[in-house]
Structure 1
Amino acid sequence: MSEKVCSHHKSKRRRVLRRCCAGLLIFNFILLLVILLIWAILQPKKPRFILQDATIFALNVSAANVISTTVQITIYSRNPNSKIGVYYDKLDSFATYHNQQITYYTVIPPVYQGHKDVNVWSPFLYGNDVPVAPYNGLALAQDQSNGAIKMTIKIDGRVKWKVGSFISGRYHLHVSCPAYIPLGNAKANGIIVGTAVKYQLSQSCSVSV
């Protein structure tokens, strides 16, 4: 008699487990469907960035593999979404040369960017007597002889999305803007500003989130 009772209890537990698993699968399916519908309705797009200009206060190659940089950049950012706001949090801007960082991090203050809104930032980037890796030494010497250097301005940080009163978790933001900048001279596209030279670049940036 006791064996029949135990068998009955085991069968009942199996039915309960099957129902729980089925309920969990249905819940996950409905949740995924809701997320896909919201995604399709909102059609979220990544923020757009443009490197508008660079004002050169110092850009010196003192040796074959040593560079000093003082530059102020102007970064234009636009939120292309009509129903999604963007919180920019912990943004660090810096310059690289052939994937090697040549300036310190400069923090861009956190800011909220509303629907279709635009923000313009003008951070200063500094780097004094930064040694360039040996394999970049020849490229740097060649750039110096050509009279211009190809740097990349980068922004790394985190963003959060806002839909109505809902705010998402943090997502990593990576922005990369190529910049071809003359070395210590004012060419046709340069404007002398005091002791500095401002170059109009208007260069689109790649963005990944």
Structure 2
Amino acid sequence: MLYIMLPSILFWLIIFPSSCKFHVTDASLTQFNLRSNNTLDYNLKVSITVRNPNNNIIVYYGRITSIAWYKDNDFSWVSLTPFGQCRKNTTFLQAVFEGKSVIKHKSKELGEYKDETSVGI
């Protein structure tokens, strides 16, 4: 029994992959206007780092979607270019969200938006 368990445990310790880490490292919001007809005008650029902490595993990202939201409302989606990532590697990505979107919000959320914009948030 030990002859089966020991190699299995060693295999798991050596090969078991760690989760890749995604972090937003910078964001630039140049436009964010919610009009009275529930239309949001926006221009947001986000810099993202992706870290593969694994020693033995190369990761391939076949589909990456970045989603922007405000007050529980998704307002934009961006598909990023698929890529492969070598071992112990950090990759830098950029997502650009710009355009117009109709969002549904409650009166409380509209009040919060007005309060936030009045103080410059």
Same fold per superposition (TM over 0.5): yes
Q: Is 2:71 aligned against 1:98?
A: yes
Q: TM-score, normalised by structure 2?
A: 0.78
- After TM superposition, list the pairs within 5 Å mapping 1:1-209 onto structure 2: 37-63=10-36, 65-103=38-76, 105-133=77-105, 135=106, 137-147=107-117, 183=121
CA distance in 2, matches of 1:88, 1:55: 25
CA contact (8 A) 1:61 1:144 kept: no
CA contact (8 A) 2:66 2:79 kept: yes
> Rg: which structure is higher?
1
Number of equivalenced pairs: 116
Shift of 1:112: 0.8
Shift of 1:63: 2.1
From the superposition, tell whether residues 145 and 85 of structure 1 become closer, same or farther in structure 2 (CA, over 3 Å): same
Residues 167-204 of structure 1 show CA distances to partners (whole Å, capped at 9, x for unaligned) of xxxxxxxxxxxxxxx65xxxxxxxxxxxxxxxxxxxxx
CA contact (8 A) 1:68 1:128 kept: yes
Structure 1 or 2: more helix by fraction:
1
CA distance in 2, matches of 1:138, 1:34: 59
Shift of 1:66: 3.5
Shift of 1:111: 0.7
Instruction: Read off the aligned partner of 1:99 and give its amino acid letter.
Output: D
CA contact (8 A) 2:75 2:101 kept: no
Higher mean alpha-carbon deviation, 43-52 vs 63-72, is at 63-72
From the superposition, tell whether residues 46 and 81 of structure 1 become closer, same or farther in structure 2 (CA, over 3 Å): same
CA contact (8 A) 1:56 1:72 kept: yes
Shift of 1:68: 1.9
Instruction: Read off the aligned partner of 1:61 and give its amino acid letter.
Output: L
Q: TM-score, normalised by structure 1?
A: 0.48
CA distance in 2, matches of 1:128, 1:84: 40
CA RMSD in angstroms, aligned pairs only: 2.6
In structure 1, stretches of 5+ residues that fail to align are 1-29, 149-181, 184-209
